[in-house]
Amino acid sequence: MEPRLSIVIPAYNERDTIREIVRRVEDAPYEKEIIAVDDCSTDGTAEILRELEEQGTIRALCQPENMGKGAALRLAFQHVTGDVVIIQDADLEYDPDQYPVLVEPIASGHADVVYGSRFQGKGRVLYFWHSMGNRLLTLISNLATDLTLTDMETGYKAFKREIIQGLILDSDRFGFEPEVTAKIARIEDIRIYEVPIDYHGRTYRDGKKITWRDGLAALWHIFKYNVALRHRPYAREDIAASDALVANQGRDGGERPEPPTR
């Protein structure tokens, strides 16, 4: 039996591509729900999403202020109901034709989480230093998590719904990628697969938003979630034990630690 998909689309100022990406998602195989989150766009993206929702195409959610990709995803994850959750950027860099490649390891019972690697599939030739930066960030992340990924920063990730809804996530912006990688790596017996995907990268003229500052931020987030906050609960089932520890420390008169970020 094929899984039902929840496709999550975070969007910020993607007026020129949002209709087309939603159309492509609709045309992709599998039964699915589409949940789009507008991150307080200023170019009319929110109005287009509301129109698509009125047509019954998607469910549209709107942030009250610009909070970033991570915050938009957290909001969407609260509403997903499918068996497999796929993150779909609102631009046209990632093609929904790749869904069968992402879903197959989960549908066949081999994986709980799947990363789509841009460095293993076909893709447009673009920025050398972006490529090197992504490879460096993946290397540092792998050193911290003991994984063997080739593309930690990929925008195409698929999760069993219970996995992604069970994580405690707090990164608001592009820190989502190193954060979610750090936290799934800590789940005992998690099965993580990586598959090659085709990637149609865009230029800054096309609307690409990520910059070298985001690369520096990613370094901080790798350290933050693998080292600085490693003692914090990272999944829902850990909260009860953590809260019991806090309560016991309070009764013993010891210093109460800062509560976990949820």
Element (H, E) at 11: strand 5-11
Question: What is the phi/psi pair of residue 59, to 5°?
Answer: -105, 125
Report, as an integer, the average pLDDT of 54-76.
96
Mean pLDDT of 243-255: 41
The model's pTM is 0.84
Res 122 pLDDT > 70:
no
Residue keyed to tokens 């010891």: 254
Higher pLDDT, 138 or 237: 138
Superfamily of domain 5-251: Spore Coat Polysaccharide Biosynthesis Protein SpsA; Chain A (3.90.550.10)
φ/ψ region of 188 (left if φ > 0, alpha if ψ in -120 to 50, else beta) reads beta
Distance of CA 143 to the CA centre of its chain: 20
Q: What is the pLDDT of residue 127?
A: 60
Return the structure tokens found at 77: 């994850």
Is 251 a residue whose pLDDT tops 50? no
Mean per-residue pLDDT over the chain, rounded: 86
How much is the pLDDT for 236?
A: 78
Alpha-carbon span 7 to 82, nearest angstrom: 9
Retrieve residue 61's tokens. 């959610």
User: pLDDT tens digit string along 167-188?
Assistant: 999 999 889 999 999 999 999 8
Domain boundaries, the chain: 5-251
Burial 157-170 (b: 16+ CB within 10 A, else e): bbbbbebbebbbbb
Q: What pLDDT, on a 0 to 100 scale, did the predictor assign at position 215?
A: 73
